[in-house]
Structure 1
């Protein structure tokens, strides 16, 4: 699947990024490896969390990479979709919760 709005990352991109900022590249890779290592959460769960977050942040590269990683870790299609629904509910829930700010600004509701 290709989308012209979102170019595919290539080895040339990775090489250029590394050439420009090798210390940051190495630190980011080490951080990522540490985050996704088995710990209190297993790798499958961590990847499902990443799938959900990728949908909230709307990063197409993250969606692709973490859906593939979740499947490699044994996540079912249903588990992936449920993670996306959790993300959708949380995103909608934030809008709902923030309505309190607007309700305070609107006052006592005496006007339509």
Structure 2
């Protein structure tokens, strides 16, 4: 399955969840908005952190959503590489395997 397919599947799954538990998903969305708009770090830096956590937690759905956001935010392949290197340093072998997935995802989604 391509990362674009994974992105579409993830969006579909989230739409289904939104219908099942709208109050919870709205509250989670409000939390995300608050975190991304507040504080001293810029939006792209926060998304880099989110991608690192997604890799360390081995969440492919999170990886594809944050890669898409980083593509839209203008992240470069080199910036992604730095984030993935730091994630590998902190998370060891399992993070290295998911870092490879995240790099592949970013490259596919940024190719358009």
- Tell whether the structures are fold-level matches, with TM greater than 0.5: yes
Q: How many residues align?
A: 91
Tell me the CA shift for residue 2 of structure 1: 5.1
Structure 1's consecutive aligned runs of 4 or more residues displaced over 6 angstroms after TM superposition are 3-7
Residue matched to 2:31: 31
Residue matched to 1:40: 40
Higher RCO (CA-CA < 8 Å; seq separation 6+): 2
SS at match of 1:9: helix
Q: In terms of Rg, which structure is larger?
A: 1
Q: Between Structure 1 and Structure 2, which shows a larger proportion of helix residues?
A: 2
Return the alpha-carbon distance in structure 2 between the equivalents of residues 80 and 25 of structure 1: 28
Let me know the Cα RMSD of the aligned residues.
2.6
TM-score normalised over the length of structure 2: 0.68
Return the alpha-carbon distance in structure 1 between the equivalents of residues 90 and 52 of structure 2: 10
Return the alpha-carbon distance in structure 2 between the equivalents of residues 82 and 46 of structure 1: 14
Tell me the CA shift for residue 76 of structure 1: 0.8
Return the alpha-carbon distance in structure 2 between the equivalents of residues 43 and 72 of structure 1: 11
Q: 1:6 to 1:45 in 2, by over 3 A?
A: closer
Gaps of 5+ in 1: 93-112
